[in-house]
Amino acid sequence: MAVSISHLGYTKLSQAIFEWQAADKTSLLALFMVMEVSLHWLWCLFVWWRRDIYDTYVDIALLYPLWFGVTLVALFLLWMTSRFSPVKKANSNLYKWQGILITVYSTYIAMVILVLGHSSLVAGVSLVGGAILGMMLIRRRYVWRAFLGHAAVILAVTFIPYLGVTLPNLRQMTLTVIPLDTYYSYINYSEITTIENAISASIFQNGTLNWDSVDQLRRSSAFFWRSTHIYMALPKAIFIIYMFRTLLLILDDSKKEILQHANQDELTQLKSRRYGMQMKQVLKSVEDHQDISVILLDLDWFKEVNDSYGHEIGDRVLVEVAQTLLQSLTDETIVSRYGGEEFLIVLPDTKHDTAMIIAEQLRRVIAKHVIILDDDTTFSVTASLGLYTLTHGERNCIKQACETLNKKDASQSLAKPQRIPSYSSKRVNRKIPAVQLPHDICQRLICMADKALYEAKGRGRDQVVSANEMLAAKNNNIEALYGT
């Protein structure tokens, strides 16, 4: 497809970066180039139109071939953006046309840098901004080579005049006592101003011109060329900054979307299994005197629902059960789909007795909920729930056990011979972590709740079983959780 200015908006630019084919991205980059070359063409037109005024500052004889070259490049780039562009039909030759596009544009920019001066704003913006913009849209290898080529051109333009070679330069001065046409291609603004001041003072002393005339000419020349550099560089710089800002917004939105897909179940809109298993943050956030409870809920005979009514109705049941859970629990509760017809519920700062009451309420609400089909057929489902509460006392015991284990490992490391004892000792000491829970604590809590869930299934389903009560009956308590 042919690209246009309308594709520079946020939405379409997002689609271009993430959804477009390589050929369309190439055409879009060519459009960016057309916009820049158009500014150069208009500048040539303006100088030619006012040549009677600006021929003092501009080499008009060099302007015509420059203008002709700008026109040819503009026509080539317009062709690359049109529906007749060869990149649309390139297929296997697409990368070749990308290379041609970058080569033409790089040669053109090198020519602009040569005739305007390598120390100008145009050179800096083109060298850095243009390269990064190109890497967003086409093969990075070609852009990297073009960047190195530009850097080589700038170095060449800098040192060649010292070898006595005169380089073409649009900028000229009619008032000269030294060959400035040779040096203007590589001296900077400060040096130009110094030389012009010296020329002005010399002419003034000889009585050739008065000071006001020379100073006015110097100021007019400096103003014209600085305005030219700003005209050619500033719009491109603003556009590149806009592109990067838009790209960052796109990346931020993409990051949010990726995190949403990773942490949210698409069907039920609950948290995903991955998010639900990240309870360690919840464990870190609870106070030392607070308990935390975990409930694992499984719908009874759910396979029969799928077999009898179809998977579409089964999905509908999962959605309605998920909504029931959300409506029955507080915002602080973490509800996630653990897998299939299983749901994981994390209750921060909830004691065992309270968690048992909540679990029983959930069981009753689900059992009372009626699923109504389109043909007015109704049915209901039941759920089995397994619960485990990690008390603050048990949590402190686990922390102490981990601390003891870490100290033991550290002492064993210190006992081993070291080449640099002082450094090794410091390194080992730094590895001793603060008092914390083991990395697999979340999985162990879920495992305990899962054992209670299977016990509920074994007792006939549609009931709540506490793993704490199971452990108390066996006088096993925390040993079953972490072997302490």
Instruction: Summarize pLDDT for 23-57 with one digit per residue, the tens.
Output: 777 888 888 889 889 999 999 999 999 988 888 77
| 236 and 288 share one domain | no
Q: Residue type for 219, please?
A: R
Mean pLDDT (the chain, rounded):
78
pLDDT at 364 over 90: yes
Give the pLDDT score at 5: 46
469 burial level (CB within 10 Å; 0-12, 13-18, 19+): middle
| 332 and 248 share one domain | no
Query: What pLDDT, in 10s, does the model give residues 170-190?
Result: 876 544 444 444 444 434 444
**Residue 354 banded pLDDT, cuts 50, 70, 90:** very high
Asked, for residue 267, whether it belongs to a domain, the answer is no
Give the pLDDT score at 219: 73
Asked, for residue 405, whether it belongs to a domain, the answer is yes
Q: Give the structural domain span for 311.
A: 273-482
| 432 and 315 share one domain | yes
Give the pLDDT score at 464: 95
From 261, 293, 309, give the residue that closes a domain. Answer: 261
Give the pLDDT score at 272: 78
| 303 and 236 share one domain | no
Q: Which of 130-134, 203-207, 361-365 has the highest mean pLDDT?
A: 361-365
Asked, for residue 266, whether it belongs to a domain, the answer is no
From 261, 287, 302, give the residue that closes a domain. Answer: 261
| 284 and 255 share one domain | no
pLDDT at 461 over 60: yes
Q: Which of 20-34, 50-64, 99-113, 446-460 has the highest mean pLDDT?
A: 446-460
Q: What is the mean pLDDT of the segment spanning 66-73? A: 93
Higher pLDDT, 462 or 82: 462
Percent of the chain with pLDDT over 90: 24
| 136 and 281 share one domain | no
**Residue 422 banded pLDDT, cuts 50, 70, 90:** very low
| 416 and 348 share one domain | yes
| 234 and 286 share one domain | no
Say if pTM beats, i.e. exceeds, 0.95: no
Query: What pLDDT, in 10s, does the model give residues 375-410?
Result: 888 999 999 999 999 888 887 777 777 777 766 666
From 261, 293, 316, give the residue that closes a domain. Answer: 261
**Into how many domains does the chain fold?**
2
Percent of the chain with pLDDT over 70: 73
pLDDT at 155 over 80: yes
pLDDT at 329 over 50: yes
Give the pLDDT score at 406: 67
| 109 and 207 share one domain | yes
Q: What is the mean pLDDT of the segment spanning 240-257? A: 80
| 240 and 372 share one domain | no
C-alpha angle 333-337-342 in degrees, rounded to nearest 5: 110
| 26 and 169 share one domain | yes
| 356 and 430 share one domain | yes
**Residue 432 banded pLDDT, cuts 50, 70, 90:** very low
Q: How far is CA 94 from CA 27, 36, 98, 99, in A?
A: 11, 23, 6, 9
Q: What is the mean pLDDT of the segment spanning 332-337? A: 88
Give the pLDDT score at 199: 52
Higher pLDDT, 208 or 128: 128
Domain at 354, CATH number: 3.30.70.270
Give the pLDDT score at 484: 46
